[in-house]
Structure 1
């Protein structure tokens, strides 16, 4: 999203045309390189990604078409000081999210206090009655969180949305860095960048720390990654993370409940799993509890879970925190559970379920971004400033028919970061998804994250499914 009326904040070049401090070392190195050599390195990176199999499936395309996610080799750079402030805000928000989920499935103090309306949960499919009164091992609901951030000025980072269910993209963060280090090893001696390579080990440690009491005393916790299979759009990431963590990659057919534990098939028989990092949605997790037609889950896993025989990460029912109507209440949620003002702001949001807000949104559709409350991936949304009158009129009908299903936000002036083109550097809009690990031992935030970039000039959508690409995200060492 961006504004057509306000100039965007350029993260590399200031208003006077000077290079900002964050990029000083990099720009000095860049200016000393041959443009032809840089172009050659860009093509080399693309062939590395293709050889490694770093692709994603595009649903709705012929034969489940696989695409290469475009990679841009100009890094997105954040100073150590900026990152410190961001980290404090991210940690505060993640703590509040976890406390909110526990409260929602237990005493509901926030509803009793009138801070969040009960109607948001009463008819919400993401709220699981099966989780009411149950506390996951270690009290952790959101083991892995992705917080999507946008920047509109030097000190203005805002949260665009929370991803507490099954955040994806961390494999691209890791591969982007590895590719940059392989292509430009001398650059990393000139510019000191905080590493991200420890993420898989940190993930394994964090998940192991969340193992249920049944696993304690058995030595090392047994971890497994549950994937829907090779046709899932994020299968590459599932396999990558399992390999990097030293965990087993399993599908539904590899698992069954044996003697009250969820076990995986091995050459030596059935082996109990302590922590299951699932990349399968709630509805498909257990055909005995949820969708009876599911072929992707494990019959009886919810009974084992509630009996304390396994940890499921992320916990079932965390998807309620991804709801965009809930998002609009996050400032109140943060303050309610932390007793502090939110460090990171929300993007201003109109709830179309409220009469006055709906009236405003209908009057200003051409200026706003309107999203489905359960939507993701850039689908099902209207970007007013770039839509035709016919598209706006068609969307207005949907909005009037089901206003509860939508929220609206202003068209922000998103920051830009340069991308490499044959004509030189060109600014493009970006967002940032830092990755957060939560366990009883604390919160771990990887320095950087996944920067998604809208590669088309003037484009407002950064999602890979909508033509966006990715960049390496650098946090400078102190």
Structure 2
């Protein structure tokens, strides 16, 4: 079906097929309601945090989080200081990663607030599995996910100040790892798929170059990293962006999802402070817990990590995709020594967490049904309200005993069935 993702560092060829396991993961309604409440709370608090960091910086003044951690971060965009994005929303689309421990409790693993990917695999996997089990969906009462593109479009239209805004998906192009998803979502929403060379700015407005001349575009669902958006404001060497788009954005002539600057809340070191930020901004206890996190920038934590590196997972604060990390129990003494040195050389760049005994789900293998470790990535849209899509991308570590679920490192996926409950419009079970 053309469902692929690209792996840049692989010499065997660029495009990879995403492995889909035929056995769905099933989540009952009560469990899902708990997740939904926790995710809404977290997204709401993170949005307030991002706005605060670019405006009043109250959390810095009140010493809830260290100033150098934010202002020294490569993801803190000084150009966004004093900005309020359309409707006050920064993180419109989030793909939060969760894991379930052996105690049955869910923990937030990371917040993906920049350009979270994978939703197209969730949607297409559902279509494939529906063909495999056509009768089971109605019998079990599985909540639908197919209206995600319509909900995404509605949210994108909501953040524009125009009645009938022209919407586009901004892609870096065909060589991007998630290009399949960019084109898929544009097609499903019935909007334009554009790259930097298709757009120009004039008079602080953004236009598409079409065969009929220039057409103004009002909203962009951007899948380009912040710093590549505008070579005049950010990275001057960017060939992907549109010169002048940031000025058009500041002038209110174009809306972008997610807003530039959201990356400041997507740092693995900031992650450690999110429970504190929820209490600070909302005055509430966090519904969903973080994985306990050691910040190597803090001396006591750093010493603990250096002494117990064999038991811990060490992560680079700015890395993603399962790279820049060490899984202590599965690593060699040489790798432990190398990471000890990396931490000593640049402690701010590393965090560490205990290795959770991730839950497993039945997965089809060459030996039949076997347990494999999984995580969960639900998608949350923040428009008129915050909405958690009742399904998720379940990523599976296909190698026996492996904890790495990233598709770029040999992981696969499963369809995730969230069941209707008595308080929903579907069947009750």
Q: Would the aligned equivalents of 2:405 and 2:412 in 1 still touch at CA under 8 Å?
A: yes
Deviations 1:69-114 (A, max 9, x none): 1110111110011111110000000000100001111111111111
In structure 1, the partner of 2:427 is none
In structure 2, the partner of 1:471 is 414
Q: Would the aligned equivalents of 2:204 and 2:244 in 1 still touch at CA under 8 Å?
A: no
In structure 2, the partner of 1:93 is 42
In structure 1, the partner of 2:190 is 246
Q: 1:447 aligns with which of 371, 378, 390?
A: 390
In structure 2, the partner of 1:357 is 301
Counterparts of residues 149-298 of structure 1 (less than 5 Å):
149-153=98-102, 155-211=104-160, 213=161, 216=162, 219-298=163-242
Q: So what's the TM-score if we normalise by structure 2?
A: 0.96
C-alpha distance in structure 1 between counterparts of 2:311 and 2:291, whole Å: 15
Q: Would the aligned equivalents of 2:86 and 2:252 in 1 still touch at CA under 8 Å?
A: yes
C-alpha distance in structure 1 between counterparts of 2:71 and 2:79, whole Å: 14
Q: 3-state SS of the aligned residue for 1:457?
A: coil
Deviations 1:22-48 (A, max 9, x none): xxxxxxxxxxxxxxxxxxxxxxxxxxx
How far did 1:436 drift? 0.5
In structure 1, the partner of 2:425 is none
C-alpha distance in structure 1 between counterparts of 2:38 and 2:138, whole Å: 30
Paired residues in the alignment total: 421
Q: 3-state SS of the aligned residue for 1:400?
A: helix
Q: So what's the TM-score if we normalise by structure 1?
A: 0.87
1:367 is the counterpart of 2:311: yes
Could you list the runs of 5+ residues in structure 2 that have no partner in the other structure?
Answer: 422-429
Q: Would the aligned equivalents of 2:204 and 2:245 in 1 still touch at CA under 8 Å?
A: no
How far did 1:260 drift? 2.4
Counterparts of residues 32-71 of structure 1 (less than 5 Å):
52-62=1-11, 65-71=14-20
Q: 1:128 aligns with which of 77, 93, 99?
A: 77
Q: Which runs of 4+ in 1 moved over 6 A?
A: none
Deviations 1:408-436 (A, max 9, x none): 00000110001012432100000001000
In structure 1, the partner of 2:274 is 330
In structure 2, the partner of 1:312 is 256
Q: CA RMSD in A?
A: 1.1
Q: 2:95 aligns with which of 146, 154, 160?
A: 146
C-alpha distance in structure 1 between counterparts of 2:42 and 2:70, whole Å: 20
1:84 is the counterpart of 2:33: yes
Could you list the runs of 5+ residues in structure 1 that have no partner in the other structure?
Answer: 1-51
Deviations 1:237-266 (A, max 9, x none): 000000011110001110001232111112
Q: Which has the larger radius of gyration?
A: 1
Larger deviation, residues 449-458 vs 149-158: 149-158
